[in-house]
Amino acid sequence: MVDIKRHILDQLNQAVSSLGMEVPSLKLDQSRRPELGDFSSGVALSLTKEAKKPPIELAEAIRNCLDLKKEICSEITVSKPGFLNFRISPEYLKQQLEVIFNEGAEFGKIQLGKGKKAQVEFVSANPTGPLTVGHGRQAVLGDVVAQILEWHGYNVDREYYYNDAGRQMRLLGESVKARYLELLGVEIDFPEGGYEGEYIRDIAREIDEKEDGAITKKSGVSEFRKFAEKMIFSEIKRSLELLHIHFNHFVNEQRFYDDGSIDKVVKLLRQNHLAYDKDGAVWLKTTAFGKEEDTVLIKRTSEPTYRLPDIAYHRDKLSRGYDLIVDIFGADHIDTYPDVLSALNALGYETSSIHVLIHQFVSLIRDGQKVKMSTRKATFITLDELIEMLGADVVRYFFIMRSRQSHLNFDIGLAEMESDENPVYYLQYAHARICNILKHAKDTGIDSSDAADLSLIQEETELSLMKTLIRWPEVMTNVHESLEPQMIANYLQALATEFHRFYTEHRVVTENRELSSARLFLVSSVKTILASGLAVLGISQPEKM
């Protein structure tokens, strides 16, 4: 399998070097003018000053130095003001079609992670309430990133880290105890800042109905907290299972207090003059990392800020020998994670294996209006409710069809549509339609595995469809670098669009058996790539719709 884009770029590099010029950072783009070719490069425009030649003349000189095989690139032209244009050979496209057909789901895999271990940490929501739609975006993003790495051959651990200590958990215990006492008719003052959702009353009722006196009104807050944590975390796991998400490991923050890791970090920071006492608190010397002010590490109340246990946790991660560590955080972590990495670096740890992916927040939109949400008061649509409303496939796709770096407006109205206006149905319908075509062909005695004369595939829409098909390896290589699932979603939409255009213009099963076999060969390959892409996204590939 040849990565055609990489091949052309390599030849461009050699051609520019042979002309005695320093090779710039070359780009090869999809051509905006298909009549000129499939790819174009403006390298001559960027080198015209160095070459002291008009760009059109320089482009001609570069073209004359190119050594591109005719079976891969059938035509190279120059267009004003100095672009080089490359047309993919139809013979090469058909060769690649055979590769796709023969390799199936393995097509494009170059095992970039073979023999390597990776860890992906995501969700990591504290067990203080149901998962929200914001948690859902991170859950799906993390799971798809893990599947991208697995596709490339990595051995991946999915890990969930949560805070089972500190103020939030104490408030959870106080809130549940208050609701429990209410059930017993005891007048109480609800804790300031406590959790007010109906789920707190549900937990209180569960204690009243099933605990058989193990927890009473005289029990301490910690007993109520432990029961609530166990119940909520069970619900969190169930919610994730509804999205087909499973974890290899669950790690809790308390562990790092119990095994002395937290104290060890503070000691190391002090020894390296990176931590000091001031105003009753312990401070991290973030000015040593280029910040304008130092940052509190342990509050006057003796409660650590997020940075301290996170440093301990990442020391633990680094000790486990992973080749790649991926942290997926919400935008609320954008100020804290650099301090964690800087502290680790200052303590002598190599952190180049740690990649932090930040995603922006989610807004639910209905009828053009934002759905108001308050996590503390539990006036929000839970992840469970969203899945029940739309189904796992739709929820998963909508969470990754926009870049993680952009705010996501989740349009419930669009997501509810069961038509090709819904981008998930659009993809699944393409897959199901091909399955139906293949079944019909088999029923009429024509099989896609029959020897096919691919020279019969010559229509513009057929060639365009093949050009999109062969981009799959390039897309997955780029996704490996960016860990941005949206790129897969965009590619699949482009592939489905090309397929639907082809299907609108041409019958697949016709009276011409040879032509039918060739087109069945083509649509079978489309089905293979659609199925591979949907599988990486964790979305089902229905045969009927």
State pLDDT tens for residues 280-314: 999 999 999 999 999 999 999 999 998 999 999 99
Look at residue 214 in the predicted model and tell me its pLDDT: 75
The residue ranking higher by pLDDT, 79 or 164, is 79
* Domain 4-88 matches domain 117-160+246-359 at the CATH topology level: no
CB of 477 closer than 8 Å to CB of 406? no
Look at residue 464 in the predicted model and tell me its pLDDT: 95
- pLDDT band for position 337 (50/70/90)? very high
Phi, psi of 78 (to 5 degrees): -120, 135
pLDDT (mean) for 497-518: 94
Q: What angle do CA 4, 66, 473 make, to 5 degrees?
A: 5
190-227 pLDDT, tens digit each: 999 999 888 999 999 999 887 666 788 888 999 999 99
CATH T-level fold of 117-160+246-359: Rossmann fold (3.40.50)
Look at residue 452 in the predicted model and tell me its pLDDT: 86
Residue 275's Cβ-side half-sphere holds a number of Cα atoms within 13 Å equal to 23
Look at residue 68 in the predicted model and tell me its pLDDT: 79
C-alpha to C-alpha distances, 273 to 270, 286, 292, 322, nearest whole angstrom: 5, 11, 17, 29
Please check the confidence at residue 376 and state whether its pLDDT lies above 70: no
451-483 pLDDT, tens digit each: 789 999 999 999 999 999 999 999 999 999 999
Look at residue 166 in the predicted model and tell me its pLDDT: 77
Structure tokens at 444: 């009429």
CATH T-level fold of 96-112+420-536: Isoleucyl-tRNA Synthetase; Domain 1 (1.10.730)
416 contact partners, CB below 8 Å, separation of at least 6 = 389, 390, 422
CB of 525 closer than 8 Å to CB of 101? yes
pLDDT (mean) for 251-274: 96
* Least confident piece of the model among 51-55, 197-201, 207-211, 352-356: 207-211
16 contact partners, CB below 8 Å, separation of at least 6 = 23, 24, 26, 43, 47, 62
96-139 pLDDT, tens digit each: 999 999 999 999 998 999 999 999 999 999 999 999 999 999 99
Look at residue 369 in the predicted model and tell me its pLDDT: 87
C-alpha to C-alpha distances, 221 to 180, 213, 257, 359, 515, nearest whole angstrom: 11, 15, 20, 35, 75
One-letter amino acid of 23: V
Average pLDDT, the chain: 92
Q: Please report, rounded to a whole number, the percentage of residues in the chain having pLDDT higher than 90.
A: 81
CATH T-level fold of 4-88: Gyrase A; domain 2 (3.30.1360)
* pTM of the entire predicted model: 0.92
Domain boundaries, the chain: 4-88, 96-112+420-536, 117-160+246-359, 167-242
CB of 520 closer than 8 Å to CB of 462? no
Look at residue 211 in the predicted model and tell me its pLDDT: 63
pLDDT (mean) for 267-286: 97
Q: What is the DSSP letter of 252?
A: E
Compute the chain's Rg from CA coordinates: 29
Look at residue 23 in the predicted model and tell me its pLDDT: 77
- pLDDT band for position 450 (50/70/90)? low
pLDDT (mean) for 167-189: 91
Nearest Cα to Cα of residue 161 among 359, 306, 5 = 306
